Structure 1
Amino acid sequence: MINQLIDFYLKSHPVTLGVLALLALYFIVLNWVFYYRYLSLASWLEIENRSLESVLMGSTTVSPQSYLSNFLKSSSNVSKDILALAQLAATKDATKGLSILSIFASTTPFIGLFGTVVSILDTFTHIGQSSGGMSVIAGGVSDALVATAAGIFVAIFSYTYHQILKRKSYELLNFIEMQSDAIMARRV
């Protein structure tokens, strides 16, 4: 296995190695963003769920830990406008990190494809310089496709993480909206 990696490193074009290094960096960043945001959203979701339950059980106001609490404290008159502003601010905070995952999901296959194209061009250059046959072509193309596979691998995780965080954000925003509706219903 180690010999195969060394052989791959020695035979690969520097651009392909750079592409693989970039994709590895993307993979590290997207995992960090996902786990950080997932844990943040999970704890926030738990707070809002408890607050919603207390409001639905008859409490006249939201929990002090609730996101809405800061907005309700800042205004002496609770209105739809204040609650709508709180919901917009919550949407902004809940969806942080989604754009980077979306960008990674859409660009990494192309980055991998770029590495593959450069490696295939390099393989054809070697074929023209030597009298190698199918073994040169097969070896070069198989090494080149590693970059495409890496790009698709990173894209799959990026897209999956994006969808998971998007769903968590949606649930969170629904809890905040339900609390807002319950507060407004009690004011009438």
Structure 2
Amino acid sequence: MINSLLDFYLKSHPVTLGVLVLLSVYFIVLNWVFFYRYFSINSWLEKENASLESLLLGTSTVSADSFLNNFIKTNTNIGREILDLAMLAATKEATKGLSILSIFASTTPFIGLFGTVVSILDTFTHIGQSSGSMSIISSGVSDALVATAAGIFVAIFAYTYHQMLKRKSFELIGALQMQSDAILARKA
């Protein structure tokens, strides 16, 4: 295993190695963003669901832990405008991190492909300098495809994480919207 990794390192073009390092950094960042945002949104969603449940059971206002409470407690006249502003602020907060996951999901296959193209060009250069046999071609192309595989691997996780966080954000905004509607219905 270590010999094959060392062999891969010695045969690979520096650009391909740089691409693999960049994709590794992307993978670390996207995992950090996902897990940080996932647990924070889950915690927030639990608070909002508890607040919604208490509203539905007859309390007159949202709980102190609710995001809407920040907007309600500072205004004596609670109306649609204030609650809409709260919803916009909540949507902005809930969707933080989605853009970076979306960017990673869409760009990492191309970054991997770039590394592959450079490696294949390097393989053809070596073939031209020596008597090119099929084993040299197949070895060079298989090593080059590692970068594409790495790019697709990172993209799969980035896209999956993006969709999971998007769904959690949707659930959170739905809970806030239901609380907002309940407050307005009580006022009417």
- Same fold at TM > 0.5: yes
Q: Which residue of 2 aligns with 1:84?
A: 84
Letter in 1 for 2:7: D
Distance 1:25 1:79 in 2: 46
Letter in 2 for 1:133: S
Distance 2:46 2:13 in 1: 49
Distance 2:93 2:110 in 1: 30
Query: Mapping of 1:19-168 within 5 angstroms?
Result: 19-168=19-168
Distance 1:163 1:36 in 2: 15
Distance 1:147 1:129 in 2: 24
Distance 1:60 1:175 in 2: 17
Question: So what's the TM-score if we normalise by structure 2?
Answer: 1.00
Letter in 1 for 2:98: L
Q: Which residue of 1 aligns with 2:16?
A: 16
Q: CA RMSD in A?
A: 0.3
**CA deviation string 1:38-69 (max 9, x = no partner):** 00000000000000000000110000000000
Question: So what's the TM-score if we normalise by structure 1?
Answer: 1.00
> What percentage of aligned pairs have identical amino acids?
76
Letter in 2 for 1:94: A
Letter in 1 for 2:132: G
Give 4+ residue runs of structure 1 displaced > 6 Å after superposition: none
Query: 1:132: how far off?
Result: 2.7
Letter in 2 for 1:144: A
Q: Secondary structure at the match of 1:61?
A: coil
**CA deviation string 1:2-50 (max 9, x = no partner):** 1000000000000000000000000000000000000000000000000
Q: Which runs of 5+ in 2 are unaligned?
A: none
Letter in 2 for 1:177: Q
Distance 2:48 2:130 in 1: 67
